[in-house]
Chain A
Amino acid sequence: MENISNLIFGLNIALQPANLFFCFMGVLVGTLIGVLPGLGPNATIALLLPFTFKVPPVSAVIMLAGIYYGAAYGGSTTSILVNIPGEAGSVITCMDGHQMALKGRAGPALGISAFGSFIAGTFGIVMLVFLAPRLAGMALMFGPPEFCSLMAMSLCLVTFLARGSMVKALIMATLGLLLGTVGMDLQTAKVRFSYGTPYLFDGIPLVPVVMGLFGISEVLKNIGSEVRQSILESKIKGFLPTLQDWKDSAFPIIRGSLIGFFTGLIPGIGLATPTFIVYGLETRLSKHPEKFGTGIIEGVAAPEACNNATASGLFIPLLSLGIPGSAAMALFLGALMIYGLEPGPLLISNHPEVFWGVVASMYVGNAMLLVLNIPLIPLWVKVLKIPYYLLFPLILLFCCVGAYSLNNNSSDVVVMITFGIVGYLLRKLKYELPPLVLAFVLGPLFEMDLRRSLALSRGSFSIFFVRPISIFFISIAIFVLALPLIKKMLEKKSA
């Protein structure tokens, strides 16, 4: 198959010593960036762009891709260890990941996260190699009505995420929707709920919010109670996943990779939404749904596999069509343009060495990351043993610096702290956070696409029901909502 020979061609390039070096530097820096909460790959890629001017284009892009990948791996580390999601894609990992860490099982959590990410990443790359051109076309089929239905379906998944009181979860979701409306309404140029602050024109930023809700609230909870110390210092149970862990995680990883990759093809989906979808799905498919959130390995394996697969998925529209699916991709695009490489269908034909070299380097990078991360696990686990009075100031410091570096704006830090309080109070009152985050992310997207669709159809709702993809998602949404009712009816029948 010609693709295989292209791959070998690419490998030849990727395995050159210089490129191996750049790849390694990239994944190293990327992992570091990923581990530090808030400091996203965007800032780093932006910073390293000038350095990469001095280096041949292929090597530069290899390094940038490595940073991006490494960051995806590293983000889960803080989620698991200290309940701080470094970026939107790691939020779900906090749920079970941190609980596992508190039970002394941080090692297996980190391990399965690394392996799961590797498997998903490899899967994504394989798909990229063989299906890139064909899949790219799929991304273009999504217009406003399709997005809207997709978001609607995802919002309905809120019901899957609720484990305790359904009403409380819905309240959280509604709150998320409301928080998402803050900011300028682009369609009408009116600013909603900003009370005059220019900072809020663009809305409340996501990353400080999740860092605060999960990370800061965790610190507050810990310094507010005397109990924490004893738990961690006694039981560190092993550094790697056990055979049972592997058995439990196998299907979640597979499902996570598949869903993550295919949703990644949809530009603009972001890294967070697929993880929510996957988590919700796993809860429903599992034989013990009530255990999710208490620290089970499936709750870590699935989202981690998912966000790596999504990351690979996002490369396809970028490299084959020149359409960036996220802010980091937009940076990539910019970088490629500066080097004179135009992404798009012409990239493959005009600069095959870039395309295939980069793709091959992703394999290499993925492998490097696994090799890098596994030995680091015992080290990370030991971090938890640092006395808390030293650890928590460091955590807070890293969060503040991370939040500040997002936009060089101390208001982001203030937002983070405020949501730390909110998160603390909500958790104390037994309200669940994931529905809030999900609605906060999806609400605005849903609303905007709804209004765009209506603008396109000049007010008619029929636009949602004549387009096949849209119909597909709506049906799933209805099915999901009706599921509890159907179940009840079936139970009544058999009674």
Chain B
Amino acid sequence: MKTTTISILTLVFCFFSILHPADGVPQDFPSRTIEMVVPFKPGGTLDIGTRIVTDQLSRELKSSVAVINKPGATGTIGSGWVAKANADGHILLAGTVASLVLSNFFLDNVPFDTQKDFVPIAYAAESPSLLVVPSTSPYKTFKELIAYGKANPGKLSYAVAGGLGSTSSMNMELIKRRTGIDLARIVYQGGGPARTAVIGGHVDMTSAGYAPLRAHIKSGKLRPLATSKKIEAMPDVPTFAEEGYPEVLVVWIGFFAPAQIPSGPRKILVEALERALKDPGTIQKLKNAGYVPETKTPEEFSEQIKQQYEMISQIVKETKIGK
């Protein structure tokens, strides 16, 4: 009786192991659904941009591309998972500055090293960082704000989303230290609550990406004082560089593969993404969502990441942020 049971079990088990989905005949890459991991919750800025691009990508590759959210620890859990995953090219990572650059500096136990464990395959878009104040605020320009802050230490506050590992936090810290104003740091769990607090006038300012801020600026609830990159819809808003503070970070979104990806699939992915990012429909959707579409070759992308790394190291050394 026991042997029969065991043999039945084994047979059934083998049956399941052999069962393959319909597209089981091995073919060229991609041979099954590609998984694009977004290491943040659905609905966030990176998530939406990724969904727009992967929608087009699946058409370019003529294969399905699924977005999988693996949030946690400012994007490091999902990114860490991809770093260790099977590197045959079917598992990819959507990344941004916070999860791949800042995390290595400001979080403990990060299970990967961005420059060693990943190769960039596409640079999708940038989200300019803006400094905004509520519409009820008396400051109309960046200079006014700084002047007031310098003259009245202890009065102004700024809202930040997340800890030091988030880009808005980093940018505000940079501004704070370069201008030398004493600002009270009000921390929120996410961008949404931070923005709400500023709209309501409870906090004096915040720095965030154009994507989530666009609607509020248009409706007049928030006033932009400076931006990290010129935005065509708002030509009067000066860039930080124009105001004399060039070190604000460029927030980018891009796609990566584990470093060991074979060159064949890598080439296919790079080219498909290039085509997807040139598609006018995709570009328009990205713009609608508040991004500034921008492309770089993977080599230029690696170089930019390297530069950002160096910049942050420099800043951390000089100002001892986070220590």
In the bound complex, residues from chain B placing their C-beta under 8 Å from that of A199 are 72-73, 77
* B80–A331 CB distance below 8 A: no
Chain A residues lying within 8 Å of B70, measured Cβ to Cβ, are: 407-409
Of the candidates A201, A268, A331, the one whose C-beta lies within 8 Å of that of B73 is A201
In the complex, chain B residues whose CB is within 8 Å of the CB of A141: 200
- A342 B73 Cβ-Cβ under 8 A: no
The answer to whether B199 has its CB under 8 Å from any CB of chain A is yes
Interfacial residues of chain B within 49-79, with CB under 8 A of chain A in the complex: 51-52, 55, 67-74, 76-77
Residues of B within 8 A of A86 (CB): none
B283 on interface, CB distance cutoff 8 Å: no
B109 close to A196 (CB less than 8 A): yes
Residues of A within 8 A of B215 (CB): 322, 337, 342-344, 346
Q: Is A290 an interface residue (CB 8 A)?
A: no
Q: Knowing A191-B108, A338-B48 touch, does A456 contact B189 (C-beta < 8 A)?
A: no
Asked if A486 lies at the interface with its beta carbon under 8 angstroms from chain B, I say: no
Asked if A198 contacts B111 (CB within 8 A), the reply is yes
Task: Check A409/B72 contact, CB under 8 A, given A43-B42, A140-B196, A189-B163.
Answer: yes
Interface of A is mostly: helix
Neighbour of B288 across the interface among A268, A321, A338, CB < 8 A? A338
Residues B176-224 near A (CB distance < 8 A): 184-189, 192-193, 195-197, 199-203, 211, 214-216, 218-219, 221
Q: Is A468 among interface residues, defined by CB-CB distance under 8 A?
A: no
Minimum C-beta distance from B306 to chain A (A): 25
Contacts of A333 in B (CB 8 A): 43
* B41 in contact (CB, < 8 A): yes
B302 within 8 A of A: no
Partner of A455, one of B44, B157, B200, B322: B157
**Which of A42, A338, A452 is close to B52, meaning CB atoms less than 8 Å apart?**
A338
Interface size class of B (residues with CB under 8 A): 35 or more
Most A C-beta atoms less than 10 A away, residue of B42, B74, B164, B199: B42
B218 touches A189 (CB 8 A): no
Q: Are B218 and A198 in contact (CB under 8 A)?
A: no
Given A334-B48, A409-B72, the answer on whether A143 and B157 have CB atoms closer than 8 Å is no
Q: Is A46 an interface residue (CB 8 A)?
A: yes
A198 and B76 in contact, given A140-B196, A338-B52 (Cβ under 8 angstroms): yes
B285 in the interface, Cβ–Cβ < 8 Å?
A: yes
Report how far A409 CA is from B288 CA in the complex, Å: 32
Interface string of A108-144 (1 = CB under 8 A from B): 0000000000000000000000000000000111111
Contacts of A42 in B (CB 8 A): 41-43
Closest CB of chain A to B78's CB: distance in Å? 8
Contacts of B192 in A (CB 8 A): 267, 323-324, 330
CB distance from B218 to the nearest CB of A (A): 6
Tell whether, in the assembled complex, residue B288 and residue A186 are in contact, meaning their CB atoms are under 8 Å apart: no
Give the shortest distance, in Å, between B172 (CB) and chain A (any CB): 14
Complex Cα–Cα for A331 and B162 (A): 19
* Smallest beta-carbon distance A200→chain B, Å: 9
- CB <8 Å contact, B73 and A198: yes
State whether the Cβ of A224 lies closer than 8 Å to any Cβ in chain B: no
A53 surroundings in chain B (CB, below 8 A): 55
Question: Which residue from chain B places its CB closest to the CB of A333 in the assembled complex?
Answer: B43
A residues 16-44 near B (Cβ < 8 Å) are 42-43
Would you give 14 A-B contacts (Cβ < 8 Å), ordered by A? A144-B186, A144-B197, A187-B185, A198-B109, A201-B72, A202-B73, A322-B216, A323-B199, A331-B43, A340-B288, A342-B215, A346-B219, A409-B77, A455-B184
Could you tell me which A residues sit within 8 Å of B by CB distance?
A: 42-43, 45-46, 49-50, 53, 139-144, 184, 186-187, 189, 191, 196, 198-199, 201-202, 267-268, 321-324, 327, 330-334, 337-340, 342-346, 407-409, 448, 452, 455-456, 458
